[in-house]
Amino acid sequence: MYKIAVMGDPDTVIGFKALGLDVFPVREEAEGRSLLRQLTRADQTDEYAIIYIEEELAQALQADIDKFKDVPRPAIILIPGKHGSIGIGQSALVAAVERAVGTNIL
């Protein structure tokens, strides 16, 4: 059965635990990079189908996240942090739609 993970600042991700999602508080870029690699390992028995990543952390991990932009699983979705959106989540969504449809329909 596929799972959903949420990673980012502890204050941002803790609420997702109430929804039954696997929550991974991350305080440093290196910790986030290591965790993302762990969650996306090919030999993962309980594979994550969706990984939500806080935008500020995602900005630091962009090269690692880009490896998954053309694969169906895991879907990596950027979410705003506790200080609000910095815009890269929406930019990523627009880019994904353009790749899928061939033009910007948003």
Distance CA 33, CA 82 (A): 20
User: Is 3.40.50.10580 the CATH classification of the domain at 3-101?
Assistant: yes
pLDDT digits (tens, 9 = 90+) for 39-85: 998 776 569 999 999 999 999 999 999 999 888 889 899 998 887 77
41 burial class (0-12, 13-18, 19+ CB within 10 angstroms)? Answer: exposed
DSSP class of residue 10 equals: H
Instruction: Determine if the pTM surpasses 0.85.
Output: no
Separation in Å, CA 42 to CA 16, 38, 46, 62: 25, 9, 10, 20
Question: Residues 66-91, buried b or exposed e (16+ Cβ, 10 A)?
Answer: eeeeeeeebebbbbbbeeeebeebee
- Which is more confident, 19 or 99? 19
Extents of the domains making up the chain: 3-101
Distance CA 58, CA 55 (A): 5
